[in-house]
Amino acid sequence: MDCYEQRLIKDVLDNGLAPALLDVMNGESEYSDSMAYNKMDAHSRRLYTMARMHLEFIIKYGNDKDSVRDGSHVYSNFKNFFEAWQLAGLPGISLELLEKMLKDKVVSKA
């Protein structure tokens, strides 16, 4: 069963907004929330970091691969951590700002 956070992230990804979500997580967006980021505990920070790495992977290599060899490096998609981050309630970002980003970006694409 999907939780609200999973549906919200699905909408973000289905609308091609993975790069915008990554900007939010990197603190490079008007939709970033430094207070939400700063109040995370150590476990939430790990989930957040791995979720960010997952986004970087799917943006670069797509969502249909588990790992990719790029030269002498092997990169993984960290899908399980991304799902755990969603189940934990998207620590580090504001749900309200994420909803606003989705609304603003989807409306501006139409």
**DSSP-assigned letters across all residues of 15-34:** TT-HHHHHHHHTT-STT--H
pTM beyond 0.85: the answer is: yes
**Stretch 18-44: mean pLDDT:** 97
Q: Is the pLDDT of residue 18 over 70?
A: yes
Average pLDDT, the chain: 94
- Structural domain including 57 reads 4-100
What is the average per-residue pLDDT within 90-110? 90
CA distance 100 to 106: 10
Is 95 contained in some domain? yes
Task: Look at residue 109 and tell me if it is in a domain.
Answer: no
Quick one: pLDDT at residue 107? 77
83 lies in some domain: yes
In percent, the amount of the chain with pLDDT more than 70 equals: 95
Query: Domains in the chain: how many in total?
Result: 1
Q: Is 105 a domain residue? A: no
In a domain, 37, yes or no: yes
Burial 58-69 (b: 16+ CB within 10 A, else e): beeeeeeeeeee
The pLDDT assigned to 110 comes to 56
